[in-house]
Chains A and B, each alone.
Chain A
């Protein structure tokens, strides 16, 4: 047994515990716990980069290029989240340490999820991830909106968990195993012998889609998103919108590309329809939003629709484009949220109309926000363009013309509301003059995001190779 494969997860877990413990003894300067968490994440990143490939416990735990790729996404997102939270948590009266530790625990869950080669492991990892997030969503407990967000998230999360479990048990009933590799073999043999298992299999596939769809916020499992995103502390919203989605995505990829790939005909069209729904509904409702967090919430629903294009393609190129785009999305979306955090820390407002005149008040912040917005639309030479081009061409290659047409048309819709923010910042004036406060860790997070967006746009090649590596895990 090569336990070295588990080192990153174990290390991050112990680090989280360390922060829990230190929280008891550290009476003053609790934001140092945040810096400590950042250090832990950086060390884990090195561990991930250094970790060998292989499997443990007979294939329950897989360490391969896909898991390392997504681990990096989780860790980076976590890093940016914590860096942008340090200033924000200062204002919490108590429980600052737990905030960071819970975030780390959630990341541990996600890392296990990315490596899950077996359904029970996958489920437990998913729960570890989400339970920490339930708490974090309700973290501002004296604000009713935050409590409401946590509660809603918990209830609906529970519902979706139940659905997922139902799917898992159906599969177990059909195949007698929970290992993804064996499920595929068992399904092929059973399916060839007894024709009548069709409906049960379809049901379980649908339940899987619904279960993961909740994490991904696919229409119609997206109802919780706007309320939770609005109510939760903004850094947590940022984390939810990127890391939690990436986690759902990697679980989806593991299960569907490992076990269900041979039954493509049964689910690809369904996913395509859900992608189209997500793009249409997300973009159209985002048009009407006046609150930046709600706008980003709906736009993130639409973004997942674009990402699903690569899944629908169901080729290694499609998968590579998904991996690449999630990275691109990470930087742009985190950047947008971090800007919103900085803005509301100073002004106390999340209204888009209050962004008027930001280019005069804080030119650098406004410029960066403009970069994030334009990247989310997909304007060259920013990362969003490269990512979308890659996704769309992967889908076109497999003949999904109608889906790509919808994607392009809805991208045009998204231009309106993303650029609306830019218009507020640059072409509207406001009486407010004071600069937006930019604490050092938050500035660092913003700069990392902006550099990510620019580099992925201007010189995407190295990262595309990286994403291609991650896609080689499956044999299409």
Chain B
């Protein structure tokens, strides 16, 4: 089976093509095709994971794709425990989101198109996961970026959505520029695109330390864009303009994790370039804090979740930079489930009451029990409450951070954990409890259809239990499956567990006190800390800053370029070329009518004079042609003999 793993991404690709060309006009059929394809991918991912579990070795399959002079590109697959776990995570979440979308997108005029995009995304993401070289991963990397753009702007009639799509695309492309520079440096130094070959060379020390550090930092640029890390994090909150299932699949569970995956995939390089690794850890740590602090005060349910995603991704990036590859991927794995669940739950709420503003919600618990319960389970999981998934993975991250000599990472890690549990339960309490704030909307609220709630329940199950594979007491848990070089056994650190649990619980309690019991008034706090509140509420003014220093100057420059350069130079050039062409054809015409015809007529006179029998078939033109042939011939002969 392993050599045929390429079949996993193939199913969604087939479904994409089928929908675009055949079933586009039949929405129901399109969704069935799409779901069928992703279910097959899921099944095969399970089989692959099972085989890799049984025999955890790295297997690589490749073939030469292009072999032209000086350009040799291979395509192939790298199936190892890391890829196998990612395959399963991606296909599971994707499958559930596909099913959920049937309910969420019901009645949308572009229903089929939505499913074709989902299929295209699944294809690209699964392809990215099994790529075995930088060239291939870059292709899929860009493809997921493209589908992300298409899906954020899916409701392109809304200007905000179209703008958000553009913003996401351009911002991530900025990071990708770094990515491609990193690839070029690395492959020039190593002479190949292939991961394993490059890693061998890096480990053998064939790549100089300077180049390695440089390329590692540039490569990380790609991850910064895709995983929305500081300073390119600004696109992800805006990306929430896309349909909620898209936010769950692409902007929470899978695509944004691609950056994390990239760092994990190339962890060898970062281990060999400690300076670059420190940059990675610092950026991750800073982002985790920054995003969590913004998340504290946002009012749009999806934006809170978006900042939470950025913050959690920062967590993963940080721990990868600290060398904890297992911990990072373990958190990616658990996070995928509970974050997808949170988004789908939020989607269910939005579907019911048609608003994103949490202050228009409230008291929804009795009306939407399934949604509320699963949402709270996910919140408990992300807050790291024992014994849910999130607890184990967060604990492992903190454990890795605690071994690092500089305590800053551990301190920030614990602080972020507290902030996370606070803003998550702020959401829970405001949305599901208390008095309904908008009576009209409340009355129309209803539980979502089964096709939406069943995925929620499955994900809730996973949000509770998925992390149990990494319990430190397990002999052969997650850490002895996905690892770099040596399987290790995590020692449970009870003190750390205790601290993180206390911090998480106090975050929840604070939220409870402020938003349920109202024993602490949020309004008073707001007034007391007016300045920090304003800064946080405005997301540290990043958007304004970028507008002021990048976007606006660029627009002005373009304006000026358009006026001066486009109208002045380009138009002039175009006109000049046009005039020149006209001039040339004039010359040609003049040449034709004077010289050529003259000569032809001359020859004609001669020929006529000689009284050749050719006269009968003489049409001026053929003669011209024959004349040109001979004229050319004579010229060539003169050229050769002269």
Contacts and interface: CB of A to CB of B under 8 A. Distances in A.
B621 to A, nearest CB: 7
A317 B67 CA distance: 13
A156 B622 contact: yes
A266 B639 CA distance: 11
Contacts of B637: 202-203, 206
B67 A393 contact: no
A288 B639 contact: no
B201 interface: no
Contacts of B70: 393
A408 to B, nearest CB: 16
Interface string A261-273: 0000010001000
Interface stretch (A36-44, A221-229, A425-433): A221-229
Contact of B626 (A156, A199, A394, A459): A156
Interface string B343-365: 00000000000000000000000
A151 B617 contact: yes
B628 A461 contact: no
Interface in B67-112: 67-71
Query: Which of B624, B625, B635 counts the most chain A CB atoms within 10 A?
Result: B625
Query: Which of A205, A220, A227, A288 counts the most chain B CB atoms within 10 A?
Result: A220
Contacts of A205: 640
Interface string B623-642: 01110110111011101110
Given A389-B68, A461-B66, A156 B625 contact: yes
Contacts of B65: 459, 461
Given A155-B626, A156-B626, A223-B628, A163 B621 contact: no
Contacts of A376: none
Nearest to A155: B622
Nearest to A274: B636
A159 interface: yes
B629 A156 contact: yes
B375 to A, nearest CB: 44
Contact of A390 (B69, B585, B635): B69
Nearest to A464: B67
Interface in A178-206: 199, 202-203, 205-206
Interface in B593-630: 617, 619, 621-622, 624-626, 628-629
A325 B639 CA distance: 30
A386 B584 contact: no
Contact of A223 (B67, B617, B629, B639): B629
Contact of B639 (A152, A270, A389): A270
Contacts of A227: 621
A397 interface: yes
Query: Which of B64, B626, B640 counts the most chain A CB atoms within 10 A?
Result: B640
A186 B487 CA distance: 75
Nearest to B71: A389
A223 B636 contact: no
B642 to A, nearest CB: 11
A207 B641 CA distance: 13
B579 interface: no
A209 B636 contact: yes
Contacts of B64: 461
Contacts of B584: 284
Nearest to A148: B619
B575 interface: no
B581 interface: yes
A220 B636 CA distance: 10
B102 to A, nearest CB: 28
A390 B68 CA distance: 7
A314 interface: no
Given A288-B585, A464-B67, A464-B68, A159 B626 contact: yes
A313 B393 CA distance: 62
A160 interface: yes
A249 interface: no
A475 B453 CA distance: 72
A209 B629 CA distance: 12
Contacts of B631: 220
Interface in A440-476: 459-461, 464
Contact of B633 (A151, A206, A284, A394): A206
A469 B69 CA distance: 16
A79 B625 CA distance: 32
Nearest to A198: B641
A221 B68 contact: no
A206 B621 contact: no
B325 to A, nearest CB: 34
Contacts of A459: 65
A210 B633 contact: yes
Contacts of A224: 625
Given A151-B617, A203-B637, A270-B639, A397 B69 contact: yes
A214 interface: yes
Contacts of A155: 617, 622, 626
B61 to A, nearest CB: 16
Nearest to B63: A461
A287 interface: yes
Contacts of A464: 67-68
B69 A317 contact: yes
A206 B69 contact: no
B633 A266 contact: no
B640 A202 contact: yes
A195 B253 CA distance: 80
B588 to A, nearest CB: 9
Contacts of A152: 621-622, 625
B67 A461 contact: yes
B596 to A, nearest CB: 10
B16 to A, nearest CB: 16
Contact of A288 (B581, B625, B629, B641): B581
A222 to B, nearest CB: 9
Nearest to B584: A284
Contacts of B641: 199, 202-203
Contact of B581 (A163, A203, A287, A393): A287
Interface string B156-192: 0000000000000000000000000000000000000
Contact of A220 (B67, B628, B640): B628
Contacts of A207: 633
Query: Which of A155, A266, A270 counts the most chain B CB atoms within 10 A?
Result: A155
Contacts of A214: 629
B162 to A, nearest CB: 20
A287 B637 CA distance: 31
Nearest to A202: B640
Query: Which of B67, B68, B584, B631 counts the most chain A CB atoms within 10 A?
Result: B68
Contacts of B640: 202, 205-206, 266, 270
A320 B635 CA distance: 31
Nearest to A273: B639
Nearest to B631: A220
A212 B444 CA distance: 82
A219 to B, nearest CB: 8
A217 B225 CA distance: 53
Given A155-B622, A288-B585, A206 B636 contact: yes
A160 B629 contact: yes
A155 B617 CA distance: 9
Contacts of B619: 148
B621 A270 contact: no
Interface of A: 148, 151-152, 155-156, 159-160, 163, 199, 202-203, 205-207, 209-210, 214, 219-221, 223-224, 227, 266, 270, 284, 287-288, 317, 386, 389-390, 393-394, 397, 459-461, 464
9 contacts: A152-B622, A202-B641, A207-B633, A210-B629, A266-B640, A288-B581, A461-B64, A461-B65, A464-B67
Nearest 3 interchain pairs by C-beta: A220-B632, A223-B625, A393-B69
Given A203-B641, A206-B640, A266-B640, 17 more contacts: A152-B625, A155-B622, A156-B626, A156-B629, A160-B629, A202-B641, A206-B636, A206-B637, A209-B636, A210-B632, A219-B632, A223-B624, A386-B68, A390-B68, A393-B70, A397-B69, A459-B65
